[in-house]
Amino acid sequence: MVTPNAKIYGKYNSAEAYQLRDFLTRSGVVVEWSELNSDEEAKRLGASGLSDARLPICVLSQGSVLFRPTIRDLAAALDWFREPKHQDYDVAICGAGPAGLSAAVYAASEGLRTIVVERSAVGGQAASTSRIENYLGFPDGISGWELSTKARQQAQRFGAEIIVTAEGIGLGFDNGSLVGHLAGGGKIVTRAAICATGVEYAKLGLPNEERFLNHGLFYGAGPSEAVLSEGHVFIVGGGNSAGQAALHFAAYAERVTLLVRGQHLEDTLSTYLLERIEHSERIEVRTQSVLTSLEGGDSLTGITYKSCLTGEETCAKTQGVFVCIGGRPRTDWITPGPLYTDSAGYILTGDDLEGMEPPIGFWLDGRRPMLRESSMPGLFAAGDVRHNSIKRVATAVGEGATAVSMVHQYLSLKRRPLDYQNL
Ligand SMILES: Cc1cc2nc3c(=O)[nH]c(=O)nc-3n(C[C@H](O)[C@H](O)[C@H](O)COP(=O)(O)OP(=O)(O)OC[C@H]3O[C@@H](n4cnc5c(N)ncnc54)[C@H](O)[C@@H]3O)c2cc1C
């Protein structure tokens, strides 16, 4: 697939414009952002003026001009959203982060009819990473979008179907097959499935959070926003994702402050990132500090943060706060009940289910769940979404490959018809 370029025209503090920039950047598209400052500029592009509700406008290099497109409109214009080609599949993978893409590469290359559904852009959390430096084989590091783009191309070359902007909203059994339901009404019938839906960013729990979301407050490392950041930027979090974001923003912003709740950054950050942060003149680290309020009108203009040690509050002007404080697993889309999770929602698989009563009507053949298999027969889990997984690109990739190997074993068992209860 040839990667197209795109130009987006709009007002800087538009949440819609951010979502388009973010989606395209994470998809590996080179995006040019053009801020509209006058009615005349907007009129030249076919809008009635700066207050036209049809802003932002996205112009794709193949010529399409889209007025205030949704992400789905954009994916359709890029020919990335298609209906599934087949009536049924050997394996359906939900989530196209490193685990899902790796599963797609192995499944398709080993002859399984494979489909991947991804609710946003391919790459998952990894695609929001400016540089992954600890992935084997890339001594100089590799940007998240580059790794994801290559993985997507590799999976497609082996024949995997990948549908972006397609969200899995349910999974159950029908006549011995698994049936995945998609937002918008589509469904996918499959003999086995892999849940690789990762985690979603945790929120701060502050008043006004929703109001400023994508209007100055962003979850994740904001790969599309760094180049547009000039003033003082705040990153909340003390883990590797926050550290990487701070270094990335420091290349563009005047000043970057890392707000860390813990006492010592070395407890949560890899040494190589810590050393670079300490050597950066533009990054300051505030440990034992928490963000307490968000201020502004239509968009964020300032914040207050507090020292946990002294209670002293500091106000600061900023138009950009990036929250990288980990996340919670995305498992609520699967029918609750038959899917066993730990108390935090991570999927239990294999030996984790030892000693538990299997859901009624399942496991009629008397076997126990295989490695990576969940409490729903034929549904495997891989990557960050799995209970006790190591949250790394390499482990997610490894788990995707392992899940496929288990899918082969499951499919060979399933050659005799099983009578799972319909859900
Ligand atoms: C900023 C940042 C920097 C990082 N840096 C590093 C690093 O340098 N090295 C390292 O090893 N690790 C790093 N990590 C961790 C690493 O990215 C993750 O461990 C890895 O991406 C997990 O892969 P995954 O496929 O399990 O899940 P994810 O990457 O979370 O992918 C899950 C995918 O599933 C999709 N999805 C969710 N729900 C649905 C649904 N219902 N329907 C369809 N699709 C759905 C999501 O949109 C997402 O694309 C970083 C993480 C972050 C956030």
Q: Edge-to-edge strands of the sheet including 300-307?
A: 289-296, 300-307, 313-317
- Cβ(128) – ligand 1 distance below 6 Å: yes
Q: Edge-to-edge strands of the sheet including 65-67?
A: 30-35, 5-10, 57-60, 65-67
User: What does the angle CA 372 – CA 376 – CA 381 come to, to the nearest 5 degrees?
Assistant: 30
* pLDDT score at 156: 96
Instruction: Classify burial at 138, counting beta carbons within 10 Å of its beta carbon; exposed 0-12, middle 13-18, buried 19 or more.
Output: middle
Q: How far apart are CA 139 and CA 150, in angstroms?
A: 17
* pLDDT score at 224: 79
Q: What is the best residue among 22, 105, 117, 125 to mutate for testing ligand 1's pocket, by most ligand atoms within 8 Å of CB?
A: 125
172 Cβ contact list (under 8 Å, min separation 6): 178, 179, 181, 335, 422, 423
* pLDDT score at 246: 95
Task: Characterize the bridge pairing of strands 65-67 and 57-60.
Answer: antiparallel
CATH assignment of 88-200+327-413, given 3.30.9.30, 3.50.50.60, 3.40.50.300, 3.40.50.2300? 3.50.50.60
Residue with tokens 């790394």: 392
Q: Give 105's Cβ-side CA count (13 Å radius).
A: 19
End-to-end CA separation in angstroms for the chain: 38
The atom number, within ligand 1, closest to the CA of 200 reads: 30
C-alpha of residue 48 to centroid of ligand 1, in Å: 40
Q: How far apart are CA 303 and CA 175, in angstroms?
A: 55
Distances (CA, A) of 222 to 89, 112, 315: 35, 35, 23
Instruction: Summarize pLDDT for 80-114 with one digit per residue, the tens.
Output: 888 899 999 999 999 999 999 999 999 999 999 99
Instruction: Give, using CA atoms, the residue closest to atom 14 of ligand 1.
Output: 392
Provide the CATH number for the domain formed by 5-77 in this structure: 3.40.30.10
Each domain of the chain, given as residue ranges in start order, spans: 5-77, 88-200+327-413, 209-323
Instruction: Classify burial at 202, counting beta carbons within 10 Å of its beta carbon; exposed 0-12, middle 13-18, buried 19 or more.
Output: middle
* pLDDT score at 26: 87
| Domains 88-200+327-413 and 209-323 fall in the same CATH topology | yes
* pLDDT score at 225: 84
Q: What is the best residue among 101, 105, 197 to mutate for testing ligand 1's pocket, by most ligand atoms within 8 Å of CB?
A: 197
Q: How far apart are CA 409 and CA 405, in angstroms?
A: 7
Instruction: Give, using CA atoms, the residue closest to atom 22 of ligand 1.
Output: 384
What residues of the chain score a pLDDT lower than 70?
A: 1-4, 336, 360-362, 364-365, 414-423
352 Cβ contact list (under 8 Å, min separation 6): 342, 387, 388
**Which class in CATH covers the domain with range 209-323?**
alpha beta
Distances (CA, A) of 391 to 112, 160, 257, 334, 394: 27, 25, 25, 21, 9
The atom number, within ligand 1, closest to the CA of 399 reads: 26
The atom number, within ligand 1, closest to the CA of 122 reads: 49
C-alpha of residue 123 to centroid of ligand 1, in Å: 7
13 Cβ contact list (under 8 Å, min separation 6): 215, 216, 298, 299
Give the phi and the psi of residue 332 in degrees, each rounded to 5.
-70, -10
C-alpha of residue 175 to centroid of ligand 1, in Å: 33
Q: How far apart are CA 349 and CA 195, in angstroms?
A: 11
Q: Give 39's Cβ-side CA count (13 Å radius).
A: 4
What type of residue sits at position 402?
Answer: T
